[in-house]
Structure 1
Amino acid sequence: MLLYSISIVVACTQSLHQTLLQTQPKILSFLNHTKAPA
């Protein structure tokens, strides 16, 4: 049961990390875009 919970947490962490990797460049380009005119 504990092992099952750990595997769920690991899977969630990996998907969250993958989402961060995908959204980080978009956030950075958005910040650069808003920072440029100022």
Structure 2
Amino acid sequence: EMVDNKAVVDYDYCKGCGICASECPTHAIAMEREVKK
């Protein structure tokens, strides 16, 4: 999803599987673990 010309995660759609990061041809996506507080 694009917001202000920047890509942002749609958390309603994202399952956290990382396929988008592994398939991105420009390696522009990186998966990072979220720390629950």
TM interval, short-chain normalised: under 0.3
Q: TM-score, normalised by structure 2?
A: 0.24
Hey, which of these two has a bigger chunk of strand by percent? Answer: 2
Larger helix proportion of the pair:
1
Give the TM-score, by structure 1 length: 0.24
